[in-house]
Amino acid sequence: MLSLQWIREAPDEVREMLARRGAAAPVDEVLALDRERRSILTEVEQLRAERNRAGKAIGRAPDAAAREALIAAQRAGAGRIDALDARRREVDAALHDLLAQFPNRLHPDTPVGAGEADNPVLRTVGLPRAFGFEPKPHWEVGAALGILEIDRAAAMAGTRMYALRGQGARLQRALINHLLEQNEEAGYEPWYLPNMVREEAMFASGQLPKFHDNLYRDAEEDYYMVPTAEVPLTSLHRDEILDAASLPLRYTAHTPCFRREKMSAGRDVRGIKRVHQFEKVEMYQFTTPEGSAAALEEMVAHAERLLRDLGLTYRVLQLCSGDLGFGAAISYDLEVWAPGAAEWLEVSSISDCLDFQARRANTRFRPEGGSATSFVHTLNGSSFGMTRVLAAILETYQREDGGVNVPDVLQHRMGRLMQITPPADAGG
């Protein structure tokens, strides 16, 4: 949520921000309602002052007629106040709905660009593996090993679903546990969280109303299935005032993620790159405005180390204004190289949302020695979405005989297994 004061005091800056994002939002409507709201508040304040003066004058009235006139005027003023208060509530609700349509402001370091093609690549780490054979895409590797079951998943759940079998399931479990433990060692406290949340949690994180059509919802119970652990993590401290001394708070969680992918129709239809349900490990921080920039750099560095440990070639991009997420002010994407499909796969987007989510969640902190509260800053990042990392592992570590080597850091979590080999009979 943007500050209404910023829109009021610098509407041209807001319009420029929206133009850089290639977004639209009702600036003029907000300004008009804001003027009406402030006019209402001024009139109510005046009427209450007049009512108070009338109340004092009633006791000093020279006769009954004068007293009755003052009482009638007082009643009329009260009726007008009630009507104005009712209208103010309507205006407040309308303002809230309009403000919810505004994306976050841009960080000064976010480059201006129209879309994905304008995202600068900051660095590429590692060289793509040189193969002595033609590498295959992960859906062929996984199927030949008998560990990836796309057709069987589709038969029970439809398209964009997958199932992992045997060593495939073990590999994903090993990867999740490795990433969670690495996050813990880096100072992130683990959480087990609800996978279904109320509308308020979706709003606080910025998912609603913008991404309503991309969310799964149980209308009967009014629950939403989380598209990312960022959603429940954002609401852990909703309507709370945190002590400055407790910040930063670093949290990590693993959840399944549910996405309708209506905004990606026709894209990435093969394999498990874009599916309706997948597992993801998330990092999240609540911090002060002063600690926000350092927290972002820390999270990016940590995610990069995790990819280096897995032995994957990756690159870091900075998202331009036209490709930036709705709630982010500045973001970095980490993409891994998938040699079988010959493409880069985004496995993490790490964002600083400044106080955008905190305003929606009403999460504040009290500075040490101070009385006034301020909104915290929130940051989030994947570490990682499992499907694309699994795809990159299968394609990077594949062998000519059809097997796949297990990354060194995961072998001890798979019973010291060094390689996954095709079973004698992958059917059944």
Number of CB atoms found within 10 A of residue 319's CB: 23
Q: List, for residues 138-154, the tens digit of each pLDDT value.
A: 999 999 999 999 999 99
Region(s) of the chain under CATH 1.10.287.40: 4-99
pLDDT band at 426 (very low <50, low <70, confident <90, very high): very low
Contacts of 424 (CB under 8 A, 6+ apart): none
The CATH code that applies to domain 4-99 is 1.10.287.40
Does residue 178 have a pLDDT over 90? yes
Question: Is this model's pTM higher than 0.85 or not?
Answer: yes
Q: Which fold has domain 116-420?
A: BirA Bifunctional Protein; domain 2 (3.30.930)
Decide which of 77 and 20 is more confident: 20
Residues carrying an active site annotation: 259, 274, 346, 349, 388
Q: Give yes or no for residue 264 having a pLDDT over 80.
A: no
Q: Which of 263, 261, 255 is nearest to 160 (CA)?
A: 261
> How far is CA 10 from its chain centroid?
27
Residue 266's pLDDT band (cuts 50, 70, 90) = low
pLDDT digits (tens, 9 = 90+) for 68-119: 776 777 777 788 899 999 999 999 999 999 999 999 999 999 999 999 999 9
